[in-house]
Amino acid sequence: MVRAIDFRYLTDVLTREQAVDMLRKQEDGKAERLESALQNKAVPAYNTSAGWLGQSDEQVTELIKSAVRQGFRHFKLKVGLGLEADRKRLGLVRETVGDKGVLMADVNQLWDVDDAIEYMKQLADMKLWYVFFALVYINPSVFTLFRFIEEPTSLDDILGHSKIRKALKPYGIGVATGEHVNNRVMFKQLLQADALDAVQLDACRLASINEILSVLLMSAKFGVPVVPHSGGAGMVELCSHASTIDFVSVSGKQAILEYTDHLHEAFEAPAAITEDGMHMSPTVPEYSCDVEESEFVKCECPQGSFWQSEVGQKMLADPWRGVLGEQTSD
């Protein structure tokens, strides 16, 4: 594993020798963790499809109820509609999932640093130890805690994230970011600056599993859980590998992983969850990102069957296709 990693620019934080030592220490209990993974008990899933800003309160409530029936216990919502609107929506979801449901929130870089601090302070009276508290466990005596508000400010503002984290820590609210971070050096700096309570690496922005491994090891050294961003087509397939590797071999601790239920049927080794809301551990060799040949036949433009359909023809004829706010075709 260590041979696959490029340690350039990281050795002030993590050397090859330190990485080897960390992995050797995780050999204790590794067989048991591997068995848990083979039984699909390694990575709890959280639902992020039920809390988009464009959805009505009624839609969010119904989607949350559906997610509960699917076995989810962890839920993430978008916030930033305004203080009272956010308060109302969080209250509706809390009422739906009960006190045992775990709620998290995503801001998508909406605020300036000081605005993020003040906004979250104003939500502190809403029992934020429930709203932004995630408890995931291997067994009742071994657990990892993380509380976070996701992407409160610009992805590039390392010191801003650090300031927000420090200011919100007394309120039990931590900071998570990383889905837009595109290299291991920036993750190194975020960790050095004590800016993170959860590392949300993106498997498509980093340089494949080689760079991901370096981020897993640095995160484990700093004691920060890795909670990958997997909110796009094929992302769950990719990130389930990263989370499982982290659990079995690197940190030895469970952490939740995002699950979005769309387009899995397009892949030869599709991601899935169990009835109790756990990710199915990947067992097929390679990276689970091979697309079914039938999808190319269907979607290759312009000769694919989709593009020959009524909807496809309408899209091809739309001069504004792909332009946000201007596209007229569905």
- The kind and range of the H/E element at 64 are helix 57-69
**Which residue among 76, 229, 241, 253 is the active-site one?**
229
- The kind and range of the H/E element at 88 are helix 83-97
78 is catalytic: yes
122's tokens? 């104003």
Q: Where are the alpha helices (DSSP H) in 158-292?
A: 158-168, 184-192, 208-222, 235-245
CA distance 238 to 228: 10
- The type of residue at 175 is V
Query: Contact, 105 vs 78, CB < 8 A?
Result: yes
Nearest to 277 by CA among 248, 257, 262, 249: 257
- The kind and range of the H/E element at 137 are strand 134-139
**Which residue among 41, 74, 78, 163 is the active-site one?**
78
Q: Note if the bond before 282 is cis, omega within 30 degrees.
A: no
Provide the β-strand partners of residue 104. Answer: 76
CA distance 205 to 212: 10
Number of helices (H) and strands (E) in the chain: give both, helices first.
Answer: 13, 9
229 is catalytic: yes
Please give the span between the terminal C-alpha atoms of the chain, in angstroms, as a whole number: 45
Q: What residues contact residue 119 under an 8 Å CB cut-off, 6+ apart?
A: 83, 111
What are the catalytic residues? 78, 229
